[in-house]
Chain A
């Protein structure tokens, strides 16, 4: 049964960064470099063109910082909201469950871009005068992204809750735990652990979704790069700079998503109870 695996598990100590992970990272970086080289060779441009950077670097830097800022704010908000809605979804109170379901169906059925655009334009009407500002539209757009991601995260949390087998709840009840206690000490820890891998995916999507802010002039890296692109078109400039810029943008997103995924993997490993997937699914 589980004993053979148990021996195997204990034989290989879990280092924080295993040898295999290092090899994979090396492969990825190496492959990435090869890819960059090939791209530059085929499409005839260079990532390190100083003329391009002279024109682009300010936009690139400020845009990247702004993207980071959006991620830093939207991600936590969406997690809290998504968790709350996911909980509501599995609640036995239809008062909570039905609105939550409608919310999820809505935000999963409509493209996020639509919500962003119309939230930033229609939203200001909702709020009284004193909140109005130039930044309001952007804030509402970012809120729309958070709401959209929260819907998907709600589904992830819901799946996490439902994956914890019923017997766990019964066992918690059998030793005399109150419903809040069994949720806090038994169900929640397991549900959260199960949710971490799919959440990692969703965070990557969220990071990419920040680019949607460009449509409402969000001044993050995608938007600013588009503006530089427009400038190059109007005032003339080496069109091949475009490739360099977009490759740089792609690399930014790569680094962001990779960082977040790696953090999530560390979280997963840190809280991993040996064999949890084997039993609870």
Chain B
């Protein structure tokens, strides 16, 4: 459903993405792993056009979307994003955070949006916190709200940029559970993460990226237990300890 072909991106002299090509099918949960600086975040941001690729194509359901005549806002309604630092809107309550997208972007009426928001919050287990403000929530709670917020605009797919990396250990589980439930319900997901347990149990395919290129691709068991490439082997041994 989402396909990228030959993506290149430079930041000044730095060649961050050096020709990335892969595909994600509908309902699949793809995990991308790799050392920091390998360009994983940039790649995600190229897919929902927060960053414009210098070369290459981004295709959603077969149609190329990185074109000057297509509004990036429309693309982002199709593909949502959950950030490492949550980025909840600090001046709005939890409920308003989730409602903002449906009301302002999709033009929903407030009552309908409120009902939908409450339902989404219940789905991530935070119905009781609807009127709290982000600063009053723990990291895990904030991230779950962020997931509800991303779901609120009814995207076809969601990108997760290291969603648990900024969390205290005791909160990681609750976020991963929500993500796993999401995957089981058939949402198309691309997840950049270091959580190997999640990768093994939830995804069917893992991509290993390093220095702007995809080094290896395969099923979780293969990547973790029997990596083909040396760099993959080195990275996996470091994180699996």
Give me the interface of A with B, judged by CB distance under 8 Å: 1-3, 5-6, 9-10, 165, 167-168, 170-178, 181, 185-186, 189-190, 193, 273-276, 278-280
CA A99 to CA B130, docked complex, whole Å: 45
CB pair B50–A168 under 8 Å, yes or no, is: no
Q: A1-B138, A273-B90 are in contact. Are A174 and B50 (CB under 8 A)?
A: yes
Checking A1, A10, A171, A185 against B83 with a beta-carbon cut-off of 8 angstroms, the contacting residue is: A171
CA A10 to CA B132, docked complex, whole Å: 10
CB pair A174–B89 under 8 Å, yes or no, is: no
CA A98 to CA B224, docked complex, whole Å: 55
CB pair B137–A2 under 8 Å, yes or no, is: yes
CA A171 to CA B48, docked complex, whole Å: 12
For B133, the closest partner residue in chain A by CB is: A274
CB pair A276–B104 under 8 Å, yes or no, is: no
* Closest-CB distance, B74 to chain A (whole angstroms): 7
Checking A9, A176, A275, A278 against B101 with a beta-carbon cut-off of 8 angstroms, the contacting residue is: A176
CA A215 to CA B169, docked complex, whole Å: 66
* Closest-CB distance, B121 to chain A (whole angstroms): 16
Considering the complex, which residues of chain B in the window 117-172 have a beta carbon less than 8 Å from any beta carbon of chain A? 132-139, 146, 149-150, 152-153, 168
The total of Cβ contacts below 8 Å across the A-B interface reads: 103
Q: A6-B132, A276-B135 are in contact. Are A175 and B168 (CB under 8 A)?
A: no
CA A216 to CA B9, docked complex, whole Å: 61
Q: 13 A–B contact pairs at CB < 8 A?
A: A2-B137, A3-B136, A3-B137, A6-B135, A9-B136, A170-B83, A175-B150, A176-B105, A178-B73, A190-B91, A193-B91, A273-B133, A276-B91
CB pair A175–B152 under 8 Å, yes or no, is: yes
* Closest-CB distance, A199 to chain B (whole angstroms): 17
Q: Does B85 contact A (CB under 8 A)?
A: yes
Q: Does B88 contact A (CB under 8 A)?
A: yes
CA A278 to CA B134, docked complex, whole Å: 10
* Closest-CB distance, A169 to chain B (whole angstroms): 9
Q: A186-B89, A276-B91, A279-B90 are in contact. Are A175 and B135 (CB under 8 A)?
A: no
CA A173 to CA B45, docked complex, whole Å: 11
CB pair A185–B100 under 8 Å, yes or no, is: yes
CB pair A171–B89 under 8 Å, yes or no, is: yes
* Closest-CB distance, B116 to chain A (whole angstroms): 14
Q: Which residues of A contact B101 (CB under 8 A)?
A: 175-177
Checking B50, B133, B136 against A173 with a beta-carbon cut-off of 8 angstroms, the contacting residue is: B50
Q: Which residues of A contact B220 (CB under 8 A)?
A: none
CB pair A174–B80 under 8 Å, yes or no, is: yes
Q: Which residues of B contact A6 (CB under 8 A)?
A: 132, 135-137
CB pair A167–B85 under 8 Å, yes or no, is: yes
Q: Which residues of B contact A186 (CB under 8 A)?
A: 89, 100
Q: Which residues of B contact A181 (CB under 8 A)?
A: 104-105
For B142, the closest partner residue in chain A by CB is: A2
Q: Does B176 contact A (CB under 8 A)?
A: no
Q: A174-B150, A176-B105, A279-B135 are in contact. Are A168 and B83 (CB under 8 A)?
A: no
Q: Which residues of B contact A178 (CB under 8 A)?
A: 71, 73
CB pair A171–B138 under 8 Å, yes or no, is: no
CA A276 to CA B105, docked complex, whole Å: 24
